Amino acid sequence: MNKSGYKYQIEQALLQEDWEINVIDYNTDWWDDEHWKVAYKYNLNRSFYLCFIVDPMFEGQRKKGQGIYEIKASTVFPTNWNDDQHTIASIPMTKRKFDEKLKKFIVDLNVFKKDKD
Protein backbone atom coordinates (compact mmCIF):
# COMPACT_ATOMS: atom_id res chain seq x y z
CA MET A 1 0.00 0.00 0.00
CA ASN A 2 1.27 3.48 -0.86
CA LYS A 3 2.62 4.91 2.40
CA SER A 4 1.52 8.45 1.58
CA GLY A 5 -1.97 7.79 0.24
CA TYR A 6 -5.29 8.20 2.01
CA LYS A 7 -5.85 4.43 2.29
CA TYR A 8 -2.55 4.07 4.11
CA GLN A 9 -3.46 6.94 6.45
CA ILE A 10 -6.80 5.29 7.22
CA GLU A 11 -5.15 1.91 7.75
CA GLN A 12 -2.63 3.39 10.21
CA ALA A 13 -5.34 5.28 12.12
CA LEU A 14 -7.43 2.10 12.41
CA LEU A 15 -4.46 0.04 13.62
CA GLN A 16 -3.66 2.63 16.30
CA GLU A 17 -7.18 2.19 17.67
CA ASP A 18 -6.98 -1.65 17.71
CA TRP A 19 -9.01 -2.21 14.56
CA GLU A 20 -7.83 -4.91 12.14
CA ILE A 21 -8.46 -5.16 8.41
CA ASN A 22 -9.53 -8.78 7.89
CA VAL A 23 -10.57 -8.70 4.22
CA ILE A 24 -9.89 -6.37 1.30
CA ASP A 25 -12.27 -7.00 -1.59
CA TYR A 26 -14.46 -5.40 -4.25
CA ASN A 27 -17.58 -6.38 -6.13
CA THR A 28 -18.83 -5.76 -9.64
CA ASP A 29 -20.97 -2.72 -8.83
CA TRP A 30 -19.57 0.45 -10.44
CA TRP A 31 -19.67 2.36 -7.17
CA ASP A 32 -17.56 -0.09 -5.11
CA ASP A 33 -13.91 0.71 -5.82
CA GLU A 34 -12.87 -1.42 -2.85
CA HIS A 35 -14.19 -2.41 0.56
CA TRP A 36 -12.57 -3.66 3.72
CA LYS A 37 -14.04 -5.85 6.42
CA VAL A 38 -12.70 -4.36 9.65
CA ALA A 39 -13.01 -5.84 13.15
CA TYR A 40 -12.04 -4.79 16.65
CA LYS A 41 -8.93 -6.73 17.66
CA TYR A 42 -10.32 -7.71 21.07
CA ASN A 43 -13.81 -8.68 19.91
CA LEU A 44 -14.17 -9.79 16.29
CA ASN A 45 -17.97 -9.49 16.56
CA ARG A 46 -17.49 -5.72 16.59
CA SER A 47 -17.00 -5.13 12.91
CA PHE A 48 -17.95 -2.95 9.98
CA TYR A 49 -17.45 -2.57 6.24
CA LEU A 50 -15.28 0.28 5.05
CA CYS A 51 -16.35 1.17 1.51
CA PHE A 52 -14.47 3.36 -0.94
CA ILE A 53 -17.32 4.75 -3.02
CA VAL A 54 -16.83 6.05 -6.54
CA ASP A 55 -18.18 9.48 -7.47
CA PRO A 56 -21.39 8.95 -9.49
CA MET A 57 -20.46 12.00 -11.59
CA PHE A 58 -17.03 10.68 -12.56
CA GLU A 59 -16.60 10.59 -16.32
CA GLY A 60 -14.11 8.78 -18.51
CA GLN A 61 -11.91 5.79 -17.87
CA ARG A 62 -11.35 5.39 -14.15
CA LYS A 63 -8.35 3.68 -12.61
CA LYS A 64 -8.64 1.82 -9.31
CA GLY A 65 -8.53 4.28 -6.44
CA GLN A 66 -9.42 7.23 -8.65
CA GLY A 67 -12.58 9.32 -8.35
CA ILE A 68 -13.45 8.34 -4.80
CA TYR A 69 -16.45 10.33 -3.60
CA GLU A 70 -16.81 9.08 -0.05
CA ILE A 71 -15.34 6.60 2.39
CA LYS A 72 -18.11 5.05 4.43
CA ALA A 73 -18.11 2.73 7.45
CA SER A 74 -21.31 0.65 7.72
CA THR A 75 -22.43 -2.20 9.94
CA VAL A 76 -24.00 -3.83 6.87
CA PHE A 77 -22.56 -3.72 3.35
CA PRO A 78 -24.44 -0.94 1.50
CA THR A 79 -26.94 -1.90 -1.19
CA ASN A 80 -25.87 1.03 -3.37
CA TRP A 81 -23.61 4.11 -3.42
CA ASN A 82 -25.97 6.32 -1.41
CA ASP A 83 -27.27 3.76 1.10
CA ASP A 84 -26.72 5.40 4.50
CA GLN A 85 -29.09 3.19 6.48
CA HIS A 86 -26.33 1.45 8.49
CA THR A 87 -23.61 4.13 8.30
CA ILE A 88 -21.45 4.61 11.40
CA ALA A 89 -19.05 7.23 10.03
CA SER A 90 -17.94 8.68 6.72
CA ILE A 91 -15.29 10.85 5.13
CA PRO A 92 -16.39 13.05 2.24
CA MET A 93 -13.46 13.08 -0.18
CA THR A 94 -13.21 16.73 -1.03
CA LYS A 95 -9.62 17.90 -1.24
CA ARG A 96 -9.61 19.92 1.95
CA LYS A 97 -8.82 19.00 5.55
CA PHE A 98 -8.52 15.22 5.15
CA ASP A 99 -6.56 14.93 8.42
CA GLU A 100 -9.37 16.64 10.37
CA LYS A 101 -12.01 14.50 8.67
CA LEU A 102 -10.01 11.35 9.47
CA LYS A 103 -9.78 12.31 13.16
CA LYS A 104 -13.57 12.79 13.33
CA PHE A 105 -14.05 9.49 11.49
CA ILE A 106 -11.91 7.65 14.06
CA VAL A 107 -13.78 9.33 16.94
CA ASP A 108 -17.09 8.14 15.44
CA LEU A 109 -15.72 4.60 15.09
CA ASN A 110 -14.56 4.62 18.71
CA VAL A 111 -18.04 5.71 19.82
CA PHE A 112 -19.41 2.74 17.85
CA LYS A 113 -16.86 0.45 19.52
CA LYS A 114 -17.80 1.66 23.02
CA ASP A 115 -21.58 1.63 22.35
CA LYS A 116 -21.34 -2.11 21.80
CA ASP A 117 -20.09 -2.79 25.37
Q: Considering the entire predicted model, what is its pTM?
A: 0.90
Best CA proximity match to 32, nearest among 74, 85, 89: 74
pLDDT at 117: 52
The 10s digit of each residue's pLDDT in 25-78 is 987 788 999 999 999 999 888 999 999 999 989 888 888 888 899 999 999 999
pLDDT band at residue 84 under the 50/70/90 scheme: very high
Query: Is the distance from CB of 64 to CB of 33 less than 8 angstroms?
Result: yes
Q: Which residue has the higher pLDDT, 86 or 96?
A: 86
Enumerate the domain spans of the chain. Answer: 6-115
